[in-house]
Every structure is written in structure tokens, then in C-alpha cells.
Structure 1
């Protein structure tokens, strides 16, 4: 499929509606979370899901993998998890001829969808084992490189950093995540629906709708979506406005931000906006797509100062003020 085909944007919007409908068998509410997760998948990027325990983060990721009929692997990150537990290791095996040879046993990272559950429960050394896989879609073991299956998509969950027994993720690893999606407690009516559903009948099974080849095709189509120059310039201006100590920097940024977002944030805004446009049945990007993705794109790439934290200024407030201040096209 290409963008020259008639009604392609409508077809992808229909596909999104089918996916959301299937997910509703297992997930109640959380519409923004589902939308941002699908955008990450269609844009070919990894996603960090942040929220307290018990909000169906694991169930959501597993359900997405089932819908796309993808090979799913879950890695439970714990303080004693080692890099070889993720990547794999070489073992000594005896061949049919009676000789011994080293054989590489693949770790759980060799799958299409990786659920890195509670990734901030393990020390940075083990977290760093995911960096090469996330960036290069390959791993290196004993000097040999092994390609990972395609598509390859890491969905990491983490509990809020103030909870006991967690480690901050390294900035270099955080930047590899396309989005940082915040999942929060459900409103009373949705929580009641979850309670009634999960305590009465067995949930309906998730039916696969698409294949891995479909995902790769979606990702290719997204990159062909046109974006007007003024909208792309707005995305860049928004990211550049997060960087302190520059002649044009806004006063509140100098006061509240210690480190701004890099170029990868601009790329994320544009690529994510293209995916969002298609999911909403449009074959072109609008300013609203950039605005809608500013929070999940910037919240893990902008480092507040100690002064901001002391004054109770959250990263959400900083991004809100950026959206109000930076002129739109």
C-alpha cells in the first residue's frame, strides 16, 4: 500500500477502530494511553508506560501483542537481574560426533514485542543491556552480533520513581523511548466496570487482527505522510524552546529547566504526528497532532531544576506553559 491509493487514511482509521474495539474486551477506559501506544507502534518506536501498580499495564501490552499476532516476551526486571538474562549466553554443548562446542542460547529479548516489566526495579547496568537492542535492533554476545526479529518493539513499564526500591533510568536510555505515557487511576464508573467484569464472567479472548508484516507496512506508510513546512518548523521551535541558557530562551525555562530535549524529540514529534494523522483518518499532519503529542514526547526528555521541584512546578506545567507561549503556525 502507498499513500497514492484511494481512501488509505480511512482504511487505517478503520483499522484503528477495530484494534480499539478488540482491546475493549480486556481494557476499560485509558483511551489516551491506548492512542499513544498505537502511535508508538505505527511510528516504529519504543514506549515507556509510567504508573502505579495494578492499572493493567501488563495486560494492555500483552493484548496489543495478541491483536497483531506478534511473538511476545515478558522480562520481569528485578534487582538481581543480569544482562545475560536479557540478551542470552553461550553454553557448552556436546555435538552428535561427541565433540563439544559453544552454542548461543537466545534470551527473551529475541521477540517482536518485549514487555520490560518494572524496568526501574533493576540497576542501571542491567537496564543498559537494552540500549543496543532498542537502538540498533541487534545484540552482541561474545563478540558476535545477532539481529533481532522485525518488527521489534519495547514496551517498558515503570512505577513512579518516588516508590521504594526503584532506580532512575539513565538519560541515554530514556531518550530511546519515543513516548513516556502516563497511566493513571480510572474514574469511578470505569473502575466499577472493571470490578464487575473481572469478578463475574471469564473475559473474551483477544482475536488477532493483523500480522507482523502488516505492522511493518503501517510503519512504512507513516513515513510517507506529508507535513507542511510551517508545522515541522513549529515542532522544532517547541523542542528548541526547552533548552536553557540560550539567547532566545524563555525566562521560565531558564528558571525551571536544567536540561532540555535533543534533536530526537523533534524527530519524535514529527513522526508521531504523522502516525496520529493517519490513525484519525487524515493523510496530512495538522498542528493539533504536534500539540497532542508534546507531553508524551517531552516529559522524559526535559530535566527540571531543583528550584522547580522545590516550588512544586511539575514537568506537565512546564510543557503546558510552552504550548501556551511558543507561537503556532
Structure 2
């Protein structure tokens, strides 16, 4: 049976699929715990279902940036085989940026999945980050970028177009603060971040820019980490209403709700499996399924459903599990 990836030209999932959860930590004890939890959940799910991003920007104490970069490098290098670990460095205009890139990318580049660049304002910032990366680690790495201001939102499509960029994340709290009080504090909350017009617009622009260039849009943090119900609701809205395919976690209790919200459910998996198996039997010609016509355009969608199910550790029917 021909593999769907060989037939469904234009399907972006194979190239752009990342774990749906990106878990951040910057304090040494929490960074170590995050790496341990990743290993435990990889064994549980049979796949690495979330990335760990070790944080220099907020994690490093003022004056201790160099020591923190060395610690992060040590943790990356000591992570188990198969771990997915990235690092958030300081912004490109911070005095510690060049040193971060030189130490971390040079000494740990071969073990990193990505480097996150915060407070990106333009494609020029991405170019500057790429130059520093390649100077330290010529093989290169994907860059993920954090968009945190109104000006950056306006340039989101230019930023997403840069070939080194893998993912765009939305920095909610800095974005709200950048408006000088024009957006109330409620705009950072669990409800306001989905209802305030300026915040909604920013989220949609970033998601649209990411999808336009085959990049991964990553949704912002939810600070109310003790409210599991609110976390589930926010993750579902990010995935189903705003087009995000990945989301930040800042507390271990947020990881499973994110996985749940961004994973296809059993009915979606069964439908996608039935349609793709019927399509394969028909040689990928159009088919009718339960009274609806399907062709390669819809096949791409259903293949992406199965890709995401596999990436989130969901059980697949045996017939389609063979594709993975």
C-alpha cells in the first residue's frame, strides 16, 4: 500500500510537526525535574509528547547570565538520548545575547532541537540571531521566535517568511504591557486574552502568518496554573478557534491538559482512519464516505489528524499504525 506521505503532496504535517506542548523552566531544580518528567512521559506514551525549553531570559539572575548559560549547557548535554530540549536565550539586543549563543550553541548545538529568540521585532532580528548561531555552530539549528509587541505583530508575516524560523510564539503579557495601559490587566487573564479585540487580533495574525509559511504557531502561557478547568478551556480555544498547533506550559500540571486539548479524539481518529484506508484502496482517487465526497484535499487534512494523534501518543487502529 502506497504511503500517504508519498501521495499527499502539499501536506505540511510531516515537515512542520512539533510536539504540541512546549514546557518552560529556568530554575535549576525545575529544569532537572522537567527533563526527568519528559523521559517518564516518553516511556508512558511511546513518543516524546512535549519539548523542554530551558530558559536563560527569565531564568538567569541579573549578573549571573554567564553562569546560567553554562548550567543550561551542562543540562542539555546530560539529557538522555532522544530528549527534545531547546533553550531560550536573551533577546538580540541584550548584553548577554552573544555570549549565550556562543556558549550554548557551540557546546550543546548537537543536542539541541531549537533555540528560542525572545522579543523579536523584525526579520532583521532573526537575521542577527542566525548570524550569531552560525558563527557558534555552523551546522545551524531551527530558530523559534517570540512575538511580544504591536510592531512585531505587524511584521509577523515577514518574520515567519525567514527560512530559519520554525515556530512563532505569542508573548501575551509583554504584548499587553506594550500598550501603555490601553489594554486592561484583564487582557492577560484566562478570559480576557480570548475576548479583548487587540489581543484576539494579535493571536490570529500570528497564527495566520505561521500557517502562510508552513511554520508552527505556538500559543502563549496561561498563568492560572492551579485552575485545571480554565487551563483545559484555554487550550481547547487556542487549538479549535485560533488555529494554534502548539502551546506553552509553565507548570507540570499544564502538560496533560494541553496534550488532551491538542490531540484528536477517538471519533476523529476513527473517521480519519476509515477515509484514508478507503482512499488507499481506491488508489487515492475520490471516494464517497457516509454520503460525503472526499479527495486529496480532504485526505491531506485527515492525514494530518493521524500525524497529530501519533505525535501525542494516541492509540491508532492497527491498519493505519503501520504507516508510522
Output the TM-score relative to the length of structure 1: 0.30
Greater helix fraction, Structure 1 or Structure 2: 2
Structure with bigger gyration radius:
1
Relative contact order higher in (CA < 8 Å, ≥ 6 apart)? 1
Output the TM-score relative to the length of structure 2: 0.30
